[in-house]
Amino acid sequence: MTRLVVVGSVIGDQMMTVPNLPERGGDVLAGPVVAQPGGAFNIVAAAVRLGLETALLGRIGTGPIGSMLVDGLDRLGATILLPRSSDGDSGTSIGFIEPDGERTFVTSPGVEQELTPDDFDSLDWAPDDSVYVSGYDLVYPVTGPTIAYWLGTHAPRTLLFDPGPLVDDIPDGVLDAVLAQASVASLNDRELALLGGDVDSLWARLGRADAVIVERIGAEGSVLHRRGEAPLRVPGRPVTVVDSTGAGDAHAGAMLAMLAEGLGVEEAVHRANVAASLAVGRLGSASGPTREALTRALEG
C-alpha cells in the first residue's frame, strides 16, 4: 500500500481574526487566540482524513508546543518517524486572518529547521512511497541542502513539491535538485511568477518527462499543465472564504490521496479543488475534509 511521507516542519499556530492589519506602529483589537498544530501538520491531516497512510519526517521539540504537535499527530493516527529532539521546542507561527479570509503570518522557527542526512538515511524507504516537500523547509540552511542531497540519491515514484511564498529565498542549487525529481509542482500565480513568470520557464527546470504543473488559481480552480498538451482548466467549487490558511495543503493532501488510489491526474486535481474549497469554508489551519465530507460535496 502506498505511504505518504511528509518531509517538513510541524509548528504551533497561534491564530487570531482581525478587522484589518494594523499600520506600522499601530494596533487593532483581535478575536480570541486559537492555538493549534500547523505547518506540515496541515497536509498530514488532509491526507489522513482521506484514507492515505501518512508519516511525518520532521523534528518535533520537547516543550509545550512539541507536546501539542505530538498529541495532534497521535489523534490523526499518523506515524512520527523521528524521535523528539532534546535541543528545544518546536517553532511558532502567529497568524492574522482578515474578514475576506486572507491570512498573514510571522514565524519563529524551532528545532524543526534542522533535518540531517542521517535522518533520511535511517529510514526504510519503500519503492512506492509518495513524498511531499514544501519550499518552507528548503529555505532552512540545514534542512534545504539535506533534502537536495537525499534527492540526489533517491527518486521517489511520486514527489509533490509546493514552493510556497518563500520560494524566492530558496538557494538555486537546492531548488533545482527538488525540481529535477518533482512529479507534481503545485503552486499559485505569485509563486509561478517568482519561479520565472511563466509555465515555459518552469518546464525548463523540471527534470522528469512525466512531470505535471498544477497552477492553483483560487476560487476558479486550477490549470493543469502537461508536456506537449494544451493547458486544461479544472474548475473550482464556489464557496464563501472564511479562512484561507492551509488551502494549498488541503489541495496537495487530497491530490496525493487520489493519485495513490490510482485516479488520473485530471480527476485528482478536480477532487483536490473541491477539498480545498471545503477547507477555506471554515476556520482552522488543518481544515482538509474527511472522505465523507468530500464525497458529499462531489455528489452535491
> What are the pLDDT digits (tens) for 98-126?
999 888 999 999 999 999 999 999 999 99
Q: Measure the CA–CA gap between 11 and 263, rounded to whole angstroms.
A: 31
Summary count for the chain: helices (H), strands (E): 11, 13
The pLDDT value recorded for residue 1 is 66
Which among 93, 82, 86, 114 has a CA at the least distance from the CA of 37?
93
* Structural domain total, the chain: 1
Residues 131-146 pLDDT 10s: 999 999 999 999 999 9
The single residue listed with the C-alpha cell 478587522 is: 19
pLDDT band at 91 (very low <50, low <70, confident <90, very high): very high
- The grid cell for 157 is 515514484
41, 245, 259 from 285: Cα distances, Å:
9, 5, 23
Q: 243 and 103 in contact (C-beta within 8 Å)? A: yes
Q: Using one digit for the tens of pLDDT, what is the confidence trace for 264-294?
A: 999 999 999 999 999 988 877 788 999 999 9
For residues 144 and 170, give the distance between their C-alpha atoms in angstroms, rounded to a whole number. 8
Comparing CA positions, the residue from 211, 224, 218 lying closest to residue 270 is 224
CA dist 193 and 199 (Å) reads 9
pLDDT confidence tier of residue 300, bands split at 50, 70 and 90: confident
179: left (phi over 0), alpha (psi -120 to 50) or beta: alpha
- Residue 280 in grid coordinates: 477555506
With vertex at residue 185, the alpha carbon angle to CA 273 and CA 234, rounded to the nearest 5 degrees, is 30
Q: How far apart are CA 157 and CA 127, in angstroms?
A: 7
Range of the domain at 216: 4-299
Res. 246 pLDDT band, cuts 50 70 90: confident
Residue 41: pLDDT band by 50, 70, 90 thresholds? Answer: very high
Q: Which residues pair with 2 in a beta bridge?
A: none
Cell 540552511 found at = 141
Beta strands in 41-145 (DSSP E): 54-57, 79-80, 92-97, 103-108, 130-134
- Show the cell assigned to 25: 506602529
Provide the pLDDT for residue 101: 87
CATH of the domain at 66: 3.40.1190.20
